[in-house]
Amino acid sequence: MANSNPDVLSATGAPEPALSGRRAWPSICVVGPGWRFTSGISYYTCRLVKAAAQDYNVSVVQLRQLLPRLLYPGRRRVGQPRTSMGYPPDVPVYDGVNWWWGASLLRALSFIRSNRPKVLVLQWWTATALHTYLMLGMMARLQGARVVIEMHETQDPDEARYPVIRHYCQWGLRLLLRLCHGCVVHSMADFRSLETGYKTERLRLTVARHGPYDQYNLAEEASSEEDPAIAAVKAAPRPGAVNLLFFGLIRPYKGLEDLLAVFNDLSEREAAGLWLTIVGETWGGYSEPKRLIEESPHRGRVTFVNEYVPDEVVRAAFSHADVAVLPYHRSSGSGSLHVAMSRGLPLVVTDVGGLREAAGDYEGAVFVPPRNREALKAGIEDAVKMAGRRFPDPRDWGEVIDALVYAADVEPCGREL
């Protein structure tokens, strides 16, 4: 339970979020990506709002046309429906602001002005949102609102590869942080990184672990004409094999190459009891995993669904999995990790970034060092022994919401600041 004294530090060394008397908490407006350029932060924003809207007055401003479509690695799926999630009907949603602004920005400013939130929460994950966040933040401050930035990572790793974008992000993020009253990060690793690289002395900076991704825990709907992707993720024979699942965007830092190298090096006897299911969209032309799959001596025991799949496929993939494997080289956080924990699956995860903090108290987690294929193989062997067991998810959205209250420095009982 959080401590109501905002000056008390948590066990992690970060300021402890203040307790909230939530029903009287001032209204908030959450700004984040919409569904046209669907990403993990689109899901996060929606799930956070659904949790907060149970007790608070919440509104949403979505970023609609996030960047020129030609520049987006997932350009082929832009605008295609991928989610069955939706915002509660009583939550006002503006969809949304385009990167070139125009009338879309004027409508967003009007939307914020009419809803008059006491707190504006900016979901940060990419430099493409920077100019819009600066404008919305300034507008909110002129209205007397508190501005909080919720940091998922300081910079996208692909953006960081380009010096111009990297320096633009660092410069602009410093401006944005000066505009904010508070900041929420999801691990002490991110807390230390932000303190090292940016001036945070005047910010109410605190840590809250990612909330549970329980939106896929509904029972699967039967279908007489099953979708090919759903049929594919259910290809692993049962009870004849333990189904290992890798899920998420296929990018170099995700470590899929390590997992495939381990799987391909298995003997026929070792591979006989396993199945590997890989579900994810190749990002930025990263073709090495596809080559390793095609050349695998166990190709007949690998399912590869190479696309950004809709929610019903996500649900089927995790429902049919026995063990989730996340062999990341680096990571601030992982939506796939939280889906796996919400499903109660045993999982193998590398001890990088904020992942230890995210899953350290999850009983089904096996941690291994990154880029160590022998350790990864041993970790998979340990997790396979837990196949069939289900573990409780220790995460709670209340921790995130309490952190936002602390970072905004608002009185939870509705008193004026």
For residue 293, what is the domain's CATH number? 3.40.50.2000
Asked whether residue 56 falls in the same domain as residue 36, the answer is yes
Asked whether residue 251 falls in the same domain as residue 188, the answer is no
Residue of higher predicted confidence among 73 and 384: 384
By residue count, the chain amounts to 417
- Dihedrals phi, psi of 264, to nearest 5 degrees: -65, -25
* Model confidence at 309: pLDDT above 90: yes
* Position 141 in a domain: yes
* Position 321 in a domain: yes
Looking at the structure of the chain, the number of domains it has is 2
| pLDDT score for 232 | 94
Asked whether residue 79 falls in the same domain as residue 192, the answer is yes
Asked whether residue 237 falls in the same domain as residue 193, the answer is no
* Residue range 158-162: mean pLDDT, rounded: 86
Asked whether residue 204 falls in the same domain as residue 234, the answer is no
* Position 16 in a domain: no
| pLDDT score for 31 | 98
Asked whether residue 206 falls in the same domain as residue 340, the answer is no
Asked whether residue 188 falls in the same domain as residue 234, the answer is no
Asked whether residue 143 falls in the same domain as residue 271, the answer is no
The token duo for 104 is: 């879309």
For the chain, the average pLDDT equals 89
Of 337, 300, 345, 294, the C-alpha closest to 319 is 345
- Dihedrals phi, psi of 353, to nearest 5 degrees: 50, -130
Asked whether residue 146 falls in the same domain as residue 61, the answer is yes
* Position 222 in a domain: no
| pTM metric for this prediction | 0.89
| pLDDT score for 366 | 98
Asked whether residue 347 falls in the same domain as residue 404, the answer is no
Distances from the Cα of 292 to the Cαs of 13, 119, 208, 376, in angstroms?
Answer: 43, 48, 38, 17
Asked whether residue 62 falls in the same domain as residue 123, the answer is yes
* Model confidence at 280: pLDDT above 80: yes
Rounded-to-integer distance, Cα 263 and Cα 220, Å = 29
* Position 75 in a domain: yes
* Position 14 in a domain: no
* Residue range 227-256: mean pLDDT, rounded: 93
Mapped onto helix, strand or coil, the DSSP state of residue 416 is: coil
Q: Of the given ranges (161-170, 220-229, 258-267), which has the lowest mean pLDDT?
A: 220-229
* Model confidence at 332: pLDDT above 60: yes
Rounded-to-integer distance, Cα 40 and Cα 44, Å = 6
* Position 391 in a domain: no
* Model confidence at 22: pLDDT above 60: no
Cβ burial, residue 411 (10 Å; 0-12/13-18/19+) = middle
Residue of higher predicted confidence among 300 and 17: 300
* Residue range 88-95: mean pLDDT, rounded: 95
Contact 92, 59 (CB under 8 A): yes
Determine the structural domain holding residue 132 and report its residue range. Answer: 22-211+396-408
Residue found under tokens 């025991």? 301
pLDDT band at 412 (very low <50, low <70, confident <90, very high): low
* Position 221 in a domain: no
Asked whether residue 177 falls in the same domain as residue 246, the answer is no
| pLDDT score for 218 | 67
